[in-house]
Amino acid sequence: MSDKGCDNHCLLEARQIGRQTTTGEWLIRNLSLTVHPGDRIGIVGPTGSGKSLFLRALAMLDEIQEGEIQFLGSPVQDKQLPLFRSQVVYLQQRAVLIEGTVESNLKFALQFQVNQHKPHDISTSMELLKSFDKPEEFLQRKSSVLSGGEGQIVALLRALILSPRILLMDEPTSGLDPETTKQFESMIHTWMETSDQSPAFVWITHDHTQAQRIARQLMTFPSGALTPCL
């Protein structure tokens, strides 16, 4: 990754991002980040420092009042948002699942027109589930009976099935036990190493030990300073 701006190999760039309240108070301001293929970026900082606001801005989920988001070297227009969100996938702290089975949740995003060309079959899901030691019967479990950790596993699997270019993750393991956290990190590592797209992630974590495990660079809030992991 580079702080010199977006070149021909850049995936995503945030330029001097700012968000403010209706009364004009700046919540975050002058924050920039450039993401290239293969980047593993951790975001750390105290509660309330703007980490989640910035990540939501990267995902283009909230309107920004200052700055610009570029994807693959060009500003993202409103009509391009469905395609953008199929390639830049946001994973929040608490999983949001639809009613039905695990399998129906995994297939859900593939129903949208922008994703219909992407393949989906049971074998793909099972290979992913093996990382969490889940049997094939897990696919038929109702989402309503899943634990919080199992729900987050399903949300991750659903994101990875989309073959995103970038994962944006907001403390995705904060509610997981240590063993499931380890499995979650392992799945992300496997995805990064085996994908033919050389994907990237930006991962908010409150755990500095985890940040050192998963990231190669750290963005520290509230300043937005970017440093390599030691």
**HEC secondary structure over the chain:** CCCCCCCCCCCEEEEEEEEECCCCCEEEEEEEEEECCCCEEEEECCCCCCHHHHHHHHCCCCCCCEEEEEECCEECCHHHHHHHHHHEEEECCCCCCCCCEHHHHHHHHHHCHHHCCCCCCHHHHHHHHHCCCCCHHHHHCEHHHCCHHHHHHHHHHHHHHCCCCEEEEECCCCCCCHHHHHHHHHHHHHHHHHCCCCCEEEEECCCHHHHHHHCCEEEECCCCEEEECC
Report the pLDDT value the prediction gives residue 55, as an integer from 0 to 100: 97
Q: Tokens representing 159?
A: 């994101």
Residue 110, pLDDT > 80, answer: no
Which pLDDT score is estimated for 1? Answer: 36
Per-residue pLDDT band for 27 (boundaries 50, 70, 90) equals very high
pLDDT for position 36 = 96
In degrees, to the nearest 5, what angle opens at C-alpha 121 toward C-alphas 169 and 179?
40
Where along the chain do its domains lie? 12-228
Average pLDDT of the chain is 87
Which residue in 226, 196, 198, 201 sits closest to 214, CA to CA? 201
Q: What is the pLDDT of residues 38-77, one digit of tens each?
A: 999 999 999 999 999 999 999 999 999 999 999 999 998 8
pLDDT for 41 equals 98
CATH placement of domain 12-228: 3.40.50.300
The mean per-residue pLDDT over the stretch 183-202 comes to 90
Structure tokens at 112: 């949208």
Is 0.85 surpassed by the pTM of this model?
yes
Omega cis (within 30) before 222: yes
What average pLDDT score do residues 125-139 get?
A: 78
Mean pLDDT of 16-45: 95
Q: What is the pLDDT of residue 3?
A: 42
pLDDT of residue 12: 96
C-alpha–C-alpha distance, residues 6 and 4, integer Å: 7
pLDDT number for residue 4: 44
- Kindly state the average pLDDT of the residues 98-115: 77
